Amino acid sequence: QETTAIERALKKCQKKMAIPSEKVLGQIDAFKPKVPLVVALRRSGMRDRHWQQLGVSPPDDSYTLDTVAGLGLDETLVDKISDIASKEFAVESSLKTMEEAWNIVPLQIEKYKETGTSVLKGIDDYATLLDEQITTTQAMTFSAFKGPFADDIETWNSTLQVVSEVL
């Protein structure tokens, strides 16, 4: 979309100011077919394991568009793997978000009468967060994209179950 907008702007400039923009327009035309590949490879979640599935080493600072174009990657395979990477990233992000949510939950413990024991206050807030996260975690266990995070999901689910029992 952005290349199309740039192309339109250059064509207007060419007409109005007689700027020799044929070279730039040619470069844009040459770049357009590479855009889907670039977008797919830049998706969130592309990890070393995904690059290895593509049969290439993970990128470093020396990678350029020409380097990637020279790899001869199958765009269908790249699209498939980057889509999987994106969905795995969603699972990973959701798991991280759930863990971080507990970092900001204040633990309210108050003494209970003169018994020498304490009680947990605000239990409704904990129960609501806990129920939401148990549901989300159980849904993750059925995700086709949980693979790299299966152990983390199971550990988090076990932790939530223990908290549920304690409450």
CA distance 136 to 98: 9
3-state SS class at 112: strand
Tokens (6 digits) for 46:
């592309």
- Report pLDDT for 136: 96
Report the alpha-carbon distance of residue 151 to residue 91 in Å, rounded.
13
The rounded average pLDDT for each run of 10 residues, N- to C-terminus, in the chain (167 residues) is: 72 63 74 85 91 90 83 90 95 95 87 86 87 95 93 95 89
> In the prediction, which pLDDT does 15 show?
63
**Separation CA 66–CA 2 (nearest Å):** 20
Residues with Cβ within 8 Å of 140's Cβ and at least 6 positions away in sequence, in order, are: 91, 94, 95, 146, 149, 153
**How far from 53 is each of 69, 85, 96, CA to CA, in Å?**
17, 11, 25
